[in-house]
Structure 1
Amino acid sequence: MSYYQLADSPLGSKNMGDIDSPMPIIGVYVAAASMACSFAMFLNSCLTFINSFPKFNFRFSGNFFTLNATWLTLLAVATKVAADLTTPKSSYLDNQAKVMNTVFLTVAMGNFFTSLGSMNNTDILTNLTALSILVITVVVDLYIQLRFHLFDRQSSSVIIIQIALLFCTWMTIVCTGLAVPAIKKRAESKYQKLVSDERQRQMEAGQQHYRVEELRLSITKYWVMAATGSPQLLMKRLVTFVYTNIICLFSGFISFRSLFNGVRTGFNSASRRNQSEYKSSINMILLSQYYVTLPTVVIATIFMISVVGYKYENNGIRISREEVTIESYWTEKLVEWRQRSILMKFKRRTLKKFIHSIKSLILTFCILIQNLNVMWCKFCSVISFYSVLPLVLLVNPLGKLINHYLGKLFRKKKVSNDKRTPEVDLNCFVILLEGEKQFPKKLLRGIINRVDKLVEMGNKQRPHNLFNLLNQSFSFGGVVEFDSNRVSSLLSSEPPNCWTLPVVTLTSIAIAIPNIASGHVDWLVSSANEGLRYASLIDVLDGKCGLKSIKNAADVVWVGVELHRKWLDMDLKRKTGEINSVKDIIQDLTNVSERIVMEFSSKENKMIVENPLYWPANVLAANSMYRITRTILLYYEDGECHAEELFRKLICMIADILAACLNNLPHMIYTKCISSAIEERLESVRDAAIIFGETEDILNFVEERKLSSIGPSKPLCIDEWRGWIEQQVTTVSSSATSNGASSVESNEHVVLQILA
């Protein structure tokens, strides 16, 4: 039986039906991948639109859909229909899906554009190679289908146009990827120059400590530098980004036109009556991919209007010469590759010379293509400027009218905000790209307003309990008193101290004290929790590797203390009804912590025991508990230990430690502004602005009491604080003894004398 006879027979029909049966399931899989990509692109579009308004401050930027292996794999699945060579020629819905696949891939590459700025050189090369393989595969498959006339006449013309747009978008993405390293290098160089100049200015002004208003102004300056030099904004200021938005607009209009024409004529055509092999799942594929086209078109339109508006604000209707000049960063990487030597070794010099000449010739051709591509993008940008300008001239008066009425409604609020914003020209802190004459004033105002909103956001989250706790500190004596030198070590060596672990241990002891009102305990836990957040950030500033494990121990213990009132699975209130003596409870904590440390020393390797940096979290916490509880027992060795008295003393110790620690707040905020990589800098300065708003009252408290001028030269480490205070105690004690005062009395009041 021949193939055609088999196909016409009932058995053949059954077999063909079995072959076709997986296709609807595959279609559902394709639709699911399309929906995932569409949803991510939709979030990108929404957040891009929302973040364009300064009054909205979302933590997330438009990076849900980035150029990486995950999204490229899903995108390859989503464009499966376009690469399908087996669909029937006369299937109308299949033709529509192939058109939509090319539009979908074009829009997806437009969404990938800004993510190029957050990649390193290796990631750019890897991801662009994978994207190129996907695009070339789709284009070749579509060409084969066109060559063998698998499309109807109407779909063929649309596919040809869309292939050209897809190819242009891919060329633009690759062109930009080659320029990203040079762009980021220039932006980083300008940033470091501005930071160096700012530091030099501070040194010349003799500023050793930041005042609150000066710190706020510094945050604004570094926010302007970070925002204008952020990879995302740098990418959006490139002419190639404008060009990709133009292509996305055209692709969206083509897809809508194809859809409307299909709805108008497809129902009466013979091709409409031919069912797709994907059956009803083809409708799901079309719906999931059309879903993302509309917001993309809207955002691209808004972006084009904004770009034209900024250009019109700076230059009027003229196009400056710089806008049609090709900047050096476009070809810098290619020129560098062309000048490099060949890594392969050859015995013959003539062969090596020949290969080097071939390589130079290929890269020279690539440089020419790169220049032509950039020139074409600039030409299209100029055309779009004059095309969109009438719309801008129509929209601008309407926008000014709306702002005028909104200004009347919120005039009082605006005046109060302006009083908080220092009148300083921040244009000199803007990081400009090569070829940019000036930054748009409206955009700069929006950036400055954004940082003011961030500070206001922090003001609404002020740690009031922590501020009240700091008012219980009258000296820095608690920094020394919590751990006495008279307590002998359980093991041969002691781990270094950090700011957080003593606070966690002291709070745990305070919770275990009986006959204390639960409201007071809850207030102390809440206050300590607010302080530990900032103390953890300050601990990170200290570069000692040992503090990482100790800070981790504090984090581990604090989870149980805060949530369950447990210290290492020990219920801190378990013996309140059985033991009424405060000394017995402190002694019980001492015994438990000593047992944990000694069990560790008897079971673990000797080398680990002798190196505190490798101790587990529970052993570090137990060692801290042992030393602090033994110190408390030594303090009440010959006297009665009253619950309320000890609770107040513990509160004062915690307040003293946190007060000394929070002296580093200005340094921590300043460090967060300047110490991040270019990809993370904007987020870091954003955190610094919010922390400043949260701690503004504390910063004023430190400034008013002049606490920032007290302490060691390097106040980051609690051990240096302890050493400095002990040195001051020795100095004042010897001075008091020589004047006839007892050393005990002088030691009790030494810190108060230092503050005076």
Structure 2
Amino acid sequence: MGLGCNVDGVLNEAKFSEPLPWIGIYIAAASLACAIAMAADAIHGFRHWKLWFPCRFFTINATSLTIVTVAIKLSVDLNTPMPRGQDQLAKLSSTALICTVMGNSKPSLGTMENNEIFTNIIALGILVITVIVNICIQLGTGVIYVFWMEHAIIMFLMLVLLVVLSFSSLTVPTIKHYLELKYKKKYEMTQKECLKSNETDKTVEEKLKEALMKYWMMAHTSSPQFVIGRSVTCTASGALCLLSAATLAEAMLRFYLMPRSFEFCKGESDYKWSIKLVLLTQTVAVGVGTIAPAMRWFLAINFRCPTRGREKGCRRDYKLERYWIKRLVEMKQCPLNIPIQSRRCRRIAHDAKIKFLNLCIGIQAGIVFMSKVIRLISIYFMSVILFCYDHCKDYLMKFTPENSTTNDSGSESLHSSKLDLGRYVLHLEGEDSLVDVMMKENRDATDYWTQKAKKTQPKHLIKLLELSRPSEGFKGLTEFDSFKVPSLDTEEAPNCWALPVVTLTSIAIALPNINSCSIKHLMAGVNEGLMYVRHVEDMQGNLINVRNAAEVVWLGVELYHRWLDVDLRKLSLQGKSPKEILEVLSDSAKNIFMEFKKSNVNLCLIDSPLKWPMKVLAANSMYRISQSILLDYESRKYEMNERLFEAITVMISDILAACLTNLQRFISVKCSTSSIEEREESVRFAAYVLGKTEKILKLLHKKSLPGLNPDQMALMDEWRSLHRLNSSEGDTPSSPESESASRNPSEVYLTID
């Protein structure tokens, strides 16, 4: 007999149900994963005071839909008996979880491309329709025999949420395109204002901060997730999601508080003890996942009804904005390209397309109207509660009249001194009433991030930069690599900022009899500086391989005190003189390069040194720098270990200082180059960088800079070429006046006076 039959040859059905408790654990684990992801989004929203709760961890994608499919397995299980009350509740919680997922993750549509939106909505639609069909079958067969009213309500809400989500996705490309155009116009206006502000007496930090406040307001209010999160359909989705959670809560309260009102079948589910775990995790997932939709719904009511308890104060607007149906109208006007020869068939297909799109336009208009009605009904119900809250708040404020008046006067004077950012709020048609609200809620965000970043300023880097030599034109840019050193190859790799710094630090670590505290401070300063050097080098797309070589070398130096295969700590303890150590490092680097040339017979096929392996680029840098120091070893009296260490430290300081003069341009570029989906995070990061580097900007602002335009200042070789030209002509570095004259005012950056 086979394993599926007993000794009598009868099919052993009990054997098939043995794994079901473990499958229940699998379902509970998937539900818990959904709960954790939605809880992470809720925590992120509260932590950053984004009460419209952007979807960062839980979005509609292939992974999340797969997990949700596992979590709702009970809803699509057609033939497993579910006799007990907890079994029936678990069926209902699985159904409610789908509504929670759709309501929670709606803003994530703003992060998707058009093809992603289409495929994800289709996949979600297939899942929802499958669940509805399976629940209807179970209601007919009796697998679900209680809570049928709750199932009907949640299925209706699920279907409505799917329709709202699907038709809302049609507006996402239109909204993005419209907001992108508005951002570009506002950005150009802001750039002109920033150029005019250079004529004022404000410091460079104040100018940058004001510019970032404007950029942040534009980037935040045009963020696709925020736009969708504040839309009327998202408000309606929040109300529907809240209603589905309330339906589940009502069923659970009835079951646990009034158990005698139900008649359940006898017996036990094949899922056995795992049903309790599934019910618990799914209830938690529904509860946690409802926080974000409920808060979006409540905030929309709060913002749209500024006059509490008065119906006239709540604006009734049933107008259909153009962006809701713009894409459908454009699709109507486009020809239907189908390979049909018959003119009559093409006409029939075209007429069918127009009728279908007219139906879709009508559905979209109905969805928007229904959403506005839901919002209005919600306002009617919640206005009384909001009125009572305001009344109690005013009553309590009467007990502290002096504090309230002083606070009010202080806040008024504070707001009067701030920038008017209302012009930089990007909004859609029908959102005029939200401009002031969005401005007040977000005007202090830039100050918050900069103040927060100030607490962790790079103190070791600041001390290191104080050693730079601006009066000598950052002379270390030419001292670290002499033009007299013969090249190892016919072509020379271009310099990036990070690799010379890493190479010089490696040499400093290898020097004997150097105070360990000095080495520790140097490495800490270099480590902090490389973070900002990386930001500057991100503006250069052609030096990726050289930058990667610097990162690989620094990883070994920082963690293990090793430059490639050379143990720097061991080398420093061998009792050799600084000259001998430089020769060892130079020979090691030369051997690496020569081995590369010998092993690559077709080296001539590598058309650029930028395509050399990272190890070879690092070896080339070490060879040139160590040879450059050896050339001036005796003339500069480098025989003393401390003197050579100090000289190398000053070279590193000069290189870092010259590189970080580009931080201002990086902050400006960061606000303009990113896509609309990532722009908000980019501006926030730029504000964070400004806060951390405020002292550095003040320090570098006092130094005279060369007469290079912004694109040239981002490249080390341009600085070196200018120094070489000045040396050959016997000139001193350019003054700040020549610098300002050489800059192109049409460049997209904020100039420093």
TM-score (structure 1 length as normaliser): 0.89
Is 1:435 the counterpart of 2:433 in the alignment?
no
Is 1:502 the counterpart of 2:500 in the alignment?
yes
Q: Please give the per-residue CA displacement for 1:312-332, whole angstroms capped at 9, x wherever unaligned.
A: 238974377783111111112
Is 1:334 the counterpart of 2:328 in the alignment?
yes
> 441, 449, 463: which is aligned to 1:446?
441
**Structure 2 letter corresponding to 1:488:** P
Checking the alignment, whether the CA contact within 8 Å between 1:493 and 1:610 is kept in structure 2 is no
Matches within 5 A, 1:329-368: 329-368=323-362
Query: Which residue number in structure 2 is paired with residue 376 of structure 1?
Result: 370
Checking the alignment, whether the CA contact within 8 Å between 1:47 and 1:62 is kept in structure 2 is no
**Offset at residue 381 of structure 1 (A):** 0.9
Checking the alignment, whether the CA contact within 8 Å between 1:28 and 1:284 is kept in structure 2 is yes
Is 1:182 the counterpart of 2:174 in the alignment?
yes
Query: Which residue number in structure 1 is paired with residue 628 of structure 2?
Result: 631
Relative to 1, partners in 2 of residues 1:207 and 1:488: Cα closer, same or farther, differing over 3 Å?
farther
Query: Which residue number in structure 2 is paired with residue 98 of structure 1?
Result: 91
**Offset at residue 80 of structure 1 (A):** 1.2
Is 1:686 the counterpart of 2:679 in the alignment?
no
Matches within 5 A, 1:504-523: 504-523=502-521
Unpaired stretches in structure 2, ≥5 consecutive residues = 739-753
Q: Please give the per-residue CA displacement for 1:64-112, whole angstroms capped at 9, x wherever unaligned.
A: 1110011101111111111111133754333222211111110011111
> 569, 572, 577: which is aligned to 1:573?
569
Is 1:595 the counterpart of 2:558 in the alignment?
no
Relative to 1, partners in 2 of residues 1:667 and 1:397: Cα closer, same or farther, differing over 3 Å?
farther
Checking the alignment, whether the CA contact within 8 Å between 1:729 and 1:751 is kept in structure 2 is no
Is 1:676 the counterpart of 2:674 in the alignment?
yes
Q: Distance in 2 between matches of 1:364 and 1:290?
A: 41
Is 1:732 the counterpart of 2:730 in the alignment?
yes
Q: Distance in 2 between matches of 1:145 and 1:269?
A: 19
Checking the alignment, whether the CA contact within 8 Å between 2:460 and 2:528 is kept in structure 1 is yes
> 445, 455, 463: which is aligned to 2:458?
463
**Structure 1 letter corresponding to 2:16:** I
Q: Please give the per-residue CA displacement for 1:239-281, whole angstroms capped at 9, x wherever unaligned.
A: 0111011111111111111011112344685415332221111
Checking the alignment, whether the CA contact within 8 Å between 1:579 and 1:585 is kept in structure 2 is no
**Offset at residue 340 of structure 1 (A):** 2.3
Query: Which residue number in structure 2 is paired with residue 745 of structure 1?
Result: none
Q: Please give the per-residue CA displacement for 1:10-33, whole angstroms capped at 9, x wherever unaligned.
A: 969992321322222222211211
Q: Please give the per-residue CA displacement for 1:203-257, whole angstroms capped at 9, x wherever unaligned.
A: 4566699822110111111111111111221111100111011111111111111
**Offset at residue 493 of structure 1 (A):** 0.8
Q: Distance in 1 between matches of 2:268 and 2:211?
A: 66
Say which SS state the counterpart of residue 557 (structure 2) adopts. Answer: helix
Is 1:614 the counterpart of 2:611 in the alignment?
yes
> 41, 60, 68: which is aligned to 1:44?
41
Identity %: 34
Is 1:80 the counterpart of 2:73 in the alignment?
yes
Query: Which residue number in structure 1 is paired with residue 580 of structure 2?
Result: 584
> 231, 237, 241: which is aligned to 1:248?
241
Q: Distance in 2 between matches of 1:416 and 1:709?
A: 44
**Structure 2 letter corresponding to 1:40:** A
Checking the alignment, whether the CA contact within 8 Å between 1:473 and 1:655 is kept in structure 2 is yes
Q: Distance in 1 between matches of 2:359 and 2:349?
A: 15
Q: Distance in 2 between matches of 1:395 and 1:309?
A: 12
Relative to 1, partners in 2 of residues 1:567 and 1:415: Cα closer, same or farther, differing over 3 Å?
farther
Checking the alignment, whether the CA contact within 8 Å between 1:31 and 1:78 is kept in structure 2 is yes
Say which SS state the counterpart of residue 573 (structure 1) adopts. Answer: helix
Matches within 5 A, 1:89-488: 90-152=83-145, 154-203=146-195, 211-266=204-259, 269-271=262-264, 273-313=266-306, 317-318=311-312, 323-398=317-392, 423-439=418-434, 441-475=436-470, 476-488=474-486
Checking the alignment, whether the CA contact within 8 Å between 2:238 and 2:297 is kept in structure 1 is yes
**Offset at residue 528 of structure 1 (A):** 1.0
Q: Distance in 1 between matches of 2:106 and 2:612?
A: 47
**Offset at residue 646 of structure 1 (A):** 1.1
Q: Distance in 1 between matches of 2:582 and 2:43?
A: 57
Q: Distance in 2 between matches of 1:417 and 1:273?
A: 69
Say which SS state the counterpart of residue 362 (structure 1) adopts. Answer: helix
Q: Distance in 1 between matches of 2:723 and 2:402?
A: 55
**Offset at residue 415 of structure 1 (A):** 7.9
Q: Distance in 2 between matches of 1:407 and 1:681?
A: 43
Query: Which residue number in structure 1 is paired with residue 702 of structure 2?
Result: 704
**Structure 2 letter corresponding to 1:527:** G
**Offset at residue 438 of structure 1 (A):** 3.4
**Offset at residue 337 of structure 1 (A):** 2.3
**Structure 2 letter corresponding to 1:158:** E
**Structure 1 letter corresponding to 2:388:** L
Q: Distance in 1 between matches of 2:285 and 2:435?
A: 30
Mean alpha-carbon deviation: is it higher for 196-205 or for 161-170? Answer: 196-205
Relative to 1, partners in 2 of residues 1:186 and 1:201: Cα closer, same or farther, differing over 3 Å?
same
Q: Distance in 1 between matches of 2:213 and 2:282?
A: 42
**Offset at residue 508 of structure 1 (A):** 0.9
**Offset at residue 474 of structure 1 (A):** 1.8
**Offset at residue 431 of structure 1 (A):** 0.7
Q: Distance in 2 between matches of 1:35 and 1:726?
A: 64
Checking the alignment, whether the CA contact within 8 Å between 1:308 and 1:392 is kept in structure 2 is no
**Structure 2 letter corresponding to 1:444:** M
Mean alpha-carbon deviation: is it higher for 233-242 or for 92-101? Answer: 92-101
Say which SS state the counterpart of residue 426 (structure 2) adopts. Answer: coil
Q: Please give the per-residue CA displacement for 1:675-700, whole angstroms capped at 9, x wherever unaligned.
A: 11111111111111111011101111
**Structure 1 letter corresponding to 2:162:** W
Q: Please give the per-residue CA displacement for 1:326-382, whole angstroms capped at 9, x wherever unaligned.
A: 111111222222222233322222222222222222122111111111111111111
Checking the alignment, whether the CA contact within 8 Å between 2:590 and 2:619 is kept in structure 1 is yes
**Offset at residue 439 of structure 1 (A):** 2.7
Checking the alignment, whether the CA contact within 8 Å between 1:248 and 1:297 is kept in structure 2 is yes
Q: Distance in 2 between matches of 1:369 and 1:462?
A: 55
**Offset at residue 553 of structure 1 (A):** 0.4
Q: Please give the per-residue CA displacement for 1:691-744, whole angstroms capped at 9, x wherever unaligned.
A: 101110111112233x357545531101111112222223335xxxxxxxxxxx
Checking the alignment, whether the CA contact within 8 Å between 1:308 and 1:385 is kept in structure 2 is yes
**Structure 1 letter corresponding to 2:630:** L
The structure where helix makes up a greater share of residues is 1
Mean alpha-carbon deviation: is it higher for 319-328 or for 257-266? Answer: 319-328
**Structure 1 letter corresponding to 2:213:** T
Relative to 1, partners in 2 of residues 1:372 and 1:12: Cα closer, same or farther, differing over 3 Å?
farther
Relative to 1, partners in 2 of residues 1:14 and 1:406: Cα closer, same or farther, differing over 3 Å?
farther
Q: Distance in 1 between matches of 2:220 and 2:312?
A: 27
**Structure 2 letter corresponding to 1:39:** I
Checking the alignment, whether the CA contact within 8 Å between 2:477 and 2:655 is kept in structure 1 is yes
Say which SS state the counterpart of residue 574 (structure 1) adopts. Answer: helix
Q: Distance in 2 between matches of 1:344 and 1:447?
A: 50
Matched positions, count? 724
**Structure 2 letter corresponding to 1:558:** W
Say which SS state the counterpart of residue 661 (structure 2) adopts. Answer: helix
Query: Which residue number in structure 2 is paired with residue 3 of structure 1?
Result: none
Relative to 1, partners in 2 of residues 1:220 and 1:399: Cα closer, same or farther, differing over 3 Å?
farther
Query: Which residue number in structure 1 is paired with residue 531 of structure 2?
Result: 533
**Offset at residue 470 of structure 1 (A):** 1.2
